[in-house]
């Protein structure tokens, strides 16, 4: 035990050794650094290329680069993931790229302080036991969604509709908003935020970036109003949901016994809505894409889900216990996530430290992405091959499959994502078969993943 600790201390230590070198790598061009190379790899459909090229040229453990005007150390491989997830708060704290922080100015402080005040609550309200009660509700939402958006149509744009599903579900589960007009009213600005994320950050009137800044302000104002109204209803004992996420935020007291303000609640809810939106929409759309391309995988999922459906009375919703029977479907979903989600995050270095013999100075940014392991042929042989059997038995080695991050900032929506994705799959395959209209359409990254042409598909309902 003592020997192991000694070894660990030599590789990672607090404080910089003046003689030690910075990680090897390139600073790229003046001002823009290596941003073009980084984003360019994603636009070409292979965001991992930026990473893997530098891992083989400089080091498979850590290299330096310069992105968005910042000096960045990129931690790679399972060791990098483990190090980062174990040293949050001690050596690093979360950091939002300046262009994103400008869209959410009030969230920046909460984000930089590590969300510690609400983190416990988030984990609590989104943990498995708390979410079990939502399974039939998610089922209702999925059923209505497929009936209104897929049924009776010959062709649809699957990515656009996956976004609608994700957003409607979040409105209903997090905020108990069921009014379709209100959902539509909030969806427009939400889309504008998404487009602003992906645009060139030029803050002039009418640019997508400025629209995103305005849309985020608008959404926050609406959320503050919704939170205020709910507080009044709860205080006056009016009939109002007490168990949804919004109400739980309102009645939450921190360690000093204080209730959060509406502004803080709005920031947290906005964080949850944004945190899950793109990831969930892409995962649902990518599922539709892979299941269309891989008939044998579709049949495996279809067989599993129809067995579950057979045990249900007409109109009876899925329950929590049904999800444990969806082993194959969950392996398929995880393989979809492995292949499509470039899960990632930035941290700001709080104090100089040594990592693998290199010094990482205070003020630098640290970047991690699951692509350094998810697409690594040594960890996932033939990484581009769709192979759900990778998740059989004990599954991938620790710190190699990390779609939801880890440590202090592990995704709090991970369990919600699992439930929603499985329920989506159930309704999808038990009701429909479909084919891609553009056989060669692929996922591209700009920098977030999405099907290149919006995934138009032709649908064929199952005859029941
Ligand atoms: C397939 C679905 C999802 C994926 C792949 C995903 C992935 C991630 C990852 C990798 C992180 C950590 C980022 C970092 O280390 O900086 C994260 C954080 C976060 N996610 Fe998710 N997520 C998903 C769904 C969701 C959902 C549905 C929600 C909300 C209900 C959500 C809310 C959040 C929030 C609030 C954070 C920030 C946590 C913190 O900084 O402490 N995510 N997610």
> What is the spatial distance between Cα 443 and Cα 43, in angstroms, rounded to a whole number?
10
Q: In what order do the strands lie in the sheet with 92-94?
A: 62-67, 70-75, 365-369, 344-349, 92-94
Mean pLDDT score, 14-21 = 65
Whole-model pTM over 0.85: yes
- The CATH classification of domain 2-461, taken from the options 3.30.310.50, 1.20.1250.20, 3.40.50.300, 1.10.630.10: 1.10.630.10
What would the two tokens of residue 425 be? 């799959």
- The domain limits of the chain are 2-461
How far is ligand 1, taken at its centre, from the CA of residue 374, in Å? 17
Q: Which atom of ligand 1 is nearest to the CA of 166?
A: 27
More confident residue, 14 or 297: 297
Rounded to the nearest 5°, which phi and psi values hold at 94? -60, 150
| pLDDT band at residue 6 using 50, 70 and 90 as cut-offs | very low
| Average pLDDT value for residue range 111-135 | 78
What are residue 189's DSSP bridge partners? none
Q: Which residue out of 413, 424, 450 has the highest number of ligand 1 atoms within 8 Å of its CB and is therefore the one to mutate?
A: 413
For residues 426 and 142, is the Cβ–Cβ distance under 8 A? yes
CA distance 327 to 336: 14
Which distant-in-sequence residues (6+ apart) come within 8 Å of 344 by Cβ?
367, 368, 369, 370, 371
Residue 116 is predicted with a pLDDT of: 61
Residue 143 backbone phi and psi in degrees, to 5: -60, -50
Q: How high is the pLDDT of residue 421?
A: 98
Q: How far is CA 277 from CA 92, 167, 169, 171, 396, in A?
A: 26, 7, 10, 11, 26
3-state percent helix, strand, coil for the chain, nearest multiple of 5: 55, 15, 35
- Gap between the Cα atoms of 384 and 387, Å rounded: 9
Residues with CB under 6 A from ligand 1: 94, 115, 119, 271-272, 275-276, 279-280, 283, 337, 341, 343, 345, 403-405, 409, 411-413, 416-417
Angle between helices 295-310 and 327-340 (to 10 degrees): 140
User: Hey, which bits of 364-453 come out as E strands?
Assistant: 365-369, 432-436, 443-445, 449-451
Question: To test the ligand 1 pocket, which listed residue (82, 124, 401, 411) has its Cβ within 8 A of the most ligand atoms?
Answer: 411
Strands 456-461 and 432-436 turn out to be: antiparallel
The Cα–Cα gap between 390 and 338 comes to: 11
| Residue nearest atom 6 in ligand 1 by C-alpha distance | 404
What are φ and ψ of residue 88, in 5° steps?
Answer: -60, 150
Residue 259 has what DSSP assignment? P
Parallel, antiparallel, or unpaired for β 365-369 and 70-75?
parallel
What is the rounded average pLDDT for all residues in the chain?
A: 90
Cβ atoms of residues 15 and 54 within 8 Å? no
Taking a C-beta distance cutoff of 8 angstroms, is the pair 68, 35 a contact?
yes
For the stretch 246-266, pLDDT in tens is 888 888 887 788 888 898 888
Interval between CA 124 and ligand 1 midpoint (Å): 15
DSSP assignment letter at 12 = E
Q: CB-based burial of residue 397 (10 Å sphere; 0-12 exposed, 13-18 middle, 19+ buried)?
A: exposed
Binning pLDDT at 50, 70 and 90, where does residue 69 land?
confident
pLDDT of residue 10: 45
- Whole-number percent of the chain with pLDDT over 90: 67
């Amino acid at each position: 035990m003592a020997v192991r600790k000694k070894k660990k201390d030599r590789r990672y230590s607090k404080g910089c050794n003046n003689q030690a070198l910075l990680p090897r790598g390139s600073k790229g061009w003046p001002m823009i650094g290596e941003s073009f190379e980084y984003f360019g790899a994603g636009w070409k459909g292979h965001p991992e290329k930026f990473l893997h090229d530098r891992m083989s040229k400089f080091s498979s453990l850590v290299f330096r680069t310069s992105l968005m005007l910042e000096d960045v150390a990129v931690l790679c491989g399972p060791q990098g993931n483990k190090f980062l997830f174990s040293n949050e708060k001690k050596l690093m704290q979360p950091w939002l790229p300046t262009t994103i922080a400008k869209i959410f100015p009030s969230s920046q402080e909460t984000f930089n302080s590590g969300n510690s005040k609400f983190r416990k609550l988030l984990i609590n309200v989104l943990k498995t036991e708390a979410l079990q009660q939502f399974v039939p509700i998610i089922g209702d939402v999925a059923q209505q969604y497929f009936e209104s958006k897929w049924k009776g149509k010959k062709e649809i744009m699957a990515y656009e509709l996956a976004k609608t599903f994700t957003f409607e579900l979040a409105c209903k589960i997090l905020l108990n908003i069921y009014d379709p007009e209100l959902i539509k009213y909030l969806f427009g600005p939400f889309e504008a935020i998404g487009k602003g994320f992906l645009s060139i950050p030029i803050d002039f009137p009418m640019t997508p970036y400025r629209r995103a800044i305005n849309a985020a302000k608008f959404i926050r104002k609406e959320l503050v109003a919704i939170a205020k109204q709910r507080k009044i209803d709860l205080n006056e004992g009016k009939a109002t949901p007490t168990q949804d996420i919004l109400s739980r935020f309102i009645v939450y007291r921190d360690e000093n016994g204080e209730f959060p303000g509406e502004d803080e609640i709005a920031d947290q809810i906005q964080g949850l809505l944004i945190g899950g939106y793109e990831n969930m929409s892409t995962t649902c759309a990518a599922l539709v894409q892979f299941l269309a391309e891989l008939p044998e995988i579709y049949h495996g999922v279809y067989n599993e889900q129809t067995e579950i459906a057979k045990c249900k009375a007409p109109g009876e919703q899925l329950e929590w216990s049904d999800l444990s029977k969806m082993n194959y479907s969950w392996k398929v979903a995880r393989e979809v996530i492995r292949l499509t989600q470039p899960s990632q995050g930035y941290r700001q270095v709080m104090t100089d430290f040594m990592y693998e013999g290199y010094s990482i100075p205070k003020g630098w940014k640290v970047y991690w992405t699951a692509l350094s392991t998810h697409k690594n042929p040594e960890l996932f042989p033939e990484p581009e091959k769709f192979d759900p059997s990778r998740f059989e038995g004990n599954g991938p080695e620790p710190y190699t499959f990390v779609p939801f991050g880890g440590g202090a900032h592990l995704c709090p929506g991970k369990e919600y994502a699992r439930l929603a994705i499985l329920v989506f799959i159930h309704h999808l395959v038990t009701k429909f078969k479909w084919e891609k209209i553009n056989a060669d359409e692929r996922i591209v990254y700009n920098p977030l993943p999405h099907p290149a042409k919006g995934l138009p598909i032709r649908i064929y309902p199952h005859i029941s």
